[in-house]
Amino acid sequence: MPAFTLYGFHGSTNSDRVRLTLAEGGFTDYELVLVNLHKGEQKPQTKPLGKDPCYHFPEGFTLYESRAICKYLAKKYSFPLLPPDSDVEAVALFDQAQSTETLYFAEPAGKIAFEKFVKRFLGLPCNDAVVSDAVRSIEVFFDVAERLLQQNEYMAGNNLTLVDIYYIPLIQRLFACGYGDFILGREAVSAWWDRCVNRPAIRRILAANKETTAATKN
């Protein structure tokens, strides 16, 4: 029996965040159950509030919200993706970087992804005003990140952490929406991105996603 079940949705940036964490941690003893949210397959009794993804342990422990799941898994299975609790300064920098990603990157990037990517599949019109505001916020964010990454190799210091993994799915979505220059147009940010996506475990997940997407289209 696998250690736990991960309920997710193909194409979900939230699901991919957890899958990338597990891959980087070298953990494979789990069952991945993909549901179709568009068909209403999420089950509140299994996935509180219908959230994607959802972690379910055989003993009954259930957790949702992708960042909470990632952090729990990293702690439970000792993935080398968190600073040691004994290094209070490193922990503080991690917490700072995590808040920065959530507040100043994920929010506007998520708006772009929804307007330019999700709405296209739903047959809904894009709200260009929302996209323009989000683009301005992302430009400012990556200007700041460029200066930070001139000093550090990763977002929370010189080691890859969960924070770097948190960025990957939404940045992939920005590339798909035609906003790759956010990354490639900044030398330090581009170098950071290369360091992240060229890690073998991360590269495997991203390649598998491409194969699944191609198969779905066919």
37 pLDDT higher than 70: no
Q: What is the mean pLDDT of residues 44-72?
A: 79
Strands of the sheet containing 31-34, edge to edge, are 31-34, 5-8, 54-56, 62-64
pLDDT of residue 209: 85
Cα–Cα distance measured from residue 107 to residue 101, given in angstroms and rounded to the nearest whole number: 9
pLDDT band at 46 (very low <50, low <70, confident <90, very high): very low
- Side chain identity at residue 186, one-letter code: R
pLDDT band at 49 (very low <50, low <70, confident <90, very high): very low
Q: What percent of the chain has pLDDT over 90?
A: 80
Taking the chain, what is the end-to-end CA distance rounded to the nearest angstrom?
A: 33
pLDDT of residue 83: 97
Whole-structure pTM value = 0.92
pLDDT of residue 9: 86
pLDDT of residue 44: 42
Do residues 202 and 20 make contact, with C-beta atoms less than 8 angstroms apart?
Answer: yes
Cα–Cα distance measured from residue 70 to residue 79, given in angstroms and rounded to the nearest whole number: 10
Structural domains of the chain, ranges and CATH numbers in brackets: 4-77 (3.40.30.10), 88-216 (1.20.1050.10)
pLDDT of residue 210: 83
Structure tokens at 175: 């590339």
pLDDT tens by residue, 151-186: 999 999 999 999 999 999 999 999 999 999 999 999
Pick the range with the lowest mean pLDDT from 107-116, 190-199, 206-215.
Answer: 206-215
Do residues 90 and 83 make contact, with C-beta atoms less than 8 angstroms apart?
Answer: yes
Residues whose CB falls within 8 Å of the CB of residue 61, separated by 6 or more in sequence, listed in order: none
Phi, psi values for residue 62, rounded to 5°: -125, 140
pLDDT tens by residue, 99-110: 999 999 999 999
Structure tokens at 121: 């599949």
Q: Which residue has the higher pLDDT, 98 or 57?
A: 98
Pairing status of strand 62-64 against strand 54-56: antiparallel
Give the residue carrying structure tokens 């992708």: 66
Cα–Cα distance measured from residue 151 to residue 157, given in angstroms and rounded to the nearest whole number: 9
Give the residue carrying structure tokens 């300064």: 89
Do residues 138 and 108 make contact, with C-beta atoms less than 8 angstroms apart?
Answer: yes
Q: Is the dihedral of CA 71, 76, 80, 82 positive or negative?
A: positive
Residues whose CB falls within 8 Å of the CB of residue 10, separated by 6 or more in sequence, listed in order: 34, 212, 216
